[in-house]
């Protein structure tokens, strides 16, 4: 995975996430839209200039002067915690 910030404003960010698919992007988008600081969050699979590969681009717009980078970092931690909880429950159920 390679992450590049394509554009950034006070309350918006557009990020290229090379090497990922709908699998990760759907989870990230779903958790982002649950956050009350997020006005909108979506991704698109784009073919970028000078590339033959299609790569996901994530767009986040926040409200109330929330920093989109801070929000995304916190969402990433939330996803990590959700995955740890799932892992623990699955391990317990499959034992």
Range of the domain at 78: 2-94
Average pLDDT over residues 15-41: 95
How many independent structural domains does the chain possess? 1
Q: What is the CATH number of the domain that holds 39?
A: 3.30.1360.10
Judge contact between 57 and 16, C-beta under 8 A.
yes
What pTM, to 2 d.p., does this model score? 0.86
Please tell me the predicted confidence (pLDDT) of residue 64.
87
Please tell me the predicted confidence (pLDDT) of residue 52.
67
- Three-state secondary structure readout of the chain: CEEEEEEECCCEEEEEEECCCHHHHHHHHHHHHHCCCEEEEEEEEEECCCCCCEEEEEEEEECCCCCHHHHHHHHHHHHHHHHHHHHHHHHHHHC
Angle in degrees, CA 46, 51, 55, rounded to 5: 30
Please tell me the predicted confidence (pLDDT) of residue 33.
97
Please tell me the predicted confidence (pLDDT) of residue 95.
83
């Amino acid at each position: 995975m390679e992450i590049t910030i394509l554009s950034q404003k006070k309350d918006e960010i557009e990020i290229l996430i090379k090497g990922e698919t709908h699998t990760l992007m759907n989870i990230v988008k779903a958790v982002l839209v649950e956050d009350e600081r997020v006005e909108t969050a979506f991704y698109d699979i784009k073919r970028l200039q000078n590339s033959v590969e299609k790569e996901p681009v994530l767009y986040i717009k926040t409200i109330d002067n929330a920093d989109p980078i801070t929000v995304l970092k916190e969402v990433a931690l939330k996803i990590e915690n959700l995955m740890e909880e799932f892992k623990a429950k699955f391990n317990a159920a499959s034992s």
